[in-house]
Structures are given as C-alpha cells and as structure tokens.
Amino acid sequence: MKIDIVTIFPEIAEAPLRASIMGRAVESGAVDIQCYNLRDWATDKHHKVDDIPYGGGPGMVMKPEPFFAAVEDLREDNSIVLLMTPQGKPFRQATAERFSQESHLLILCGHYEGVDHRVVEALVDEEVSIGDYVLTNGTIAAAVVADAVIRLIPGVLGDERSTQEESFSGDGDQIEAPHYTRPAEFRGMDVPPVLLSGNHAAIEAWRKKSAKSRTRQNRPELFKKRHDSDEA
C-alpha cells in the first residue's frame, strides 16, 4: 500500500513514521509512505499557501491552487483523497480497516482556519476528523490515521490476532479486558488468579466479563449501544 501526506509541516508527519513498528513497516516495504511539502506546489515567489477569508473573519484560509496542483501530480487511478479536518467524519477503527484495503491514500492536511472549500468539493473523497477537538494542524491527525491503517496491513504486526481481538474491532462497541505481566505480585497487588490457572475457558470467560464491565465504566455510550442492540 502507498500513503502520501501533503502538508506544510512534512517533518511533523515524518518523525513518527520512522520509529518502531511504522519504521519497520516502511523498511520492509509493506507500505510506501512519502511526506510532501505543499509549498513545493505554490508558484509565487514566497511560496504562499494561505490568504485572507472572503466575507471577513479571523485567521487565514489555505489557497486552492497548491492543493489542486499537488493532487493533480500525486493522484493515481485508484487513489482515495482524504482531507484531515475537525469538520470531517469521525475516524474509527472500522474506518482504519476500510482504508487498509485501499492501494493508495493521498492525505491532505489543513491548517489555519481551514481550506478553500473548492478543494473539498472538487478533490476530496472523504473529510476525516480524529476527534472532537481542534489541533493547530492536520498533520498530527494524518500521522494518527497512517499509524492506525499501517498496523492493520497483514504482516506488519507480529501476531495477527492482536488486531482481531482488540478494542473497537468487530462491531467496534467494546474495549478489551485489562492486561497483566510478571511479577504475579507487585507492591501487594496480585494478578487475577484465573490468569495464572492455565484454564483457557475460564480465562476467556474472565476476559469477556472484564471487557464488559470496563466498557460500562469507561465508555458508557458504547455499552448502551451494544446493550440496546442485544435487546433489538
């Protein structure tokens, strides 16, 4: 799979992609990821990428021309063009799973007050938000999307089961059970004895029950969704 990120801060996107699992995925060739500087498509002397908003208001708006030029250069027949913006559709595990099936993601990062809406209308397949808060720039959000997608590519994680049984997988409405490792006793706190029992059925039952109570406590809205659909 190929991921291209277009941003005015390529260094912000590049750093997390070089380390750890993502770094290994890039090195192994499981993913080809490139970060481009939007200013390289600005044709004026100062490589200007923003301008004042029509209709007035605070801040600056990103100009359409550099985005159009960048997308026209980088887009391929099977590309999905994403724009990172707090006004986008919420990014979820199911979105990551869907994107991981694509051959080319071309991710555009917004900045300032927003991006000229003609970019959205003419170039963008999906506007994506990573959560209900506003970052200074979409670049960190693009790295979040890249990370969530790359780890789902077969072979990137050592153990495929880790993506099948984790939080938000499947119906996306449950978080997983707590985890423990050695030592079995630490500062007076014991690992739940069932996890040391070797009884796989009992361990599975404990994990199901713990996942349920943790979901109810930390994510009551998910718990309600699952519970309501159980009744339906």
Helices in 125-175 by DSSP H: which ranges? 139-150, 161-164
- Chain centre distance of CA 5: 13
Q: Of residues 58, 133, 158, 179, which one binds ligand ADE by CB under 6 A?
A: 133
- Say whether residue 138 binds ligand ADE (CB under 6 A): yes
Closest approach, Cβ 149 to ligand ADE, in A, equals 14
d(CA 27, CA 34): 13
Q: Of residues 29, 57, 134, 182, which one binds ligand ADE by CB under 6 A?
A: 134
Closest approach, Cβ 112 to ligand ADE, in A, equals 10
Question: What do you get for the CA distance between the two ends of the chain, in Å?
Answer: 39
- Say whether residue 17 binds ligand ADE (CB under 6 A): no
Closest CB to ligand ADE among residues 30, 80: 80
Q: Which residue is nearest to ligand ADE (CB)?
A: 141
Q: Of residues 22, 38, 105, 141, which one binds ligand ADE by CB under 6 A?
A: 141
Q: Which two tokens stand for residue 228?
A: 């309501």
Site for ligand ADE in 67-96 (CB under 6 A): 84-86, 88
d(CA 223, CA 218): 9
Angle, helices 139-150 vs 10-18, to 10°: value is 30
Q: Which two tokens stand for residue 232?
A: 């339906």
Closest CB to ligand ADE among residues 140, 191: 140
Q: Which two tokens stand for residue 41?
A: 């498509």
Closest approach, Cβ 189 to ligand ADE, in A, equals 36
d(CA 138, CA 72): 20
Contacts to ligand ADE by CB under 6 A: 84-86, 88, 110, 129-131, 133-135, 138, 141
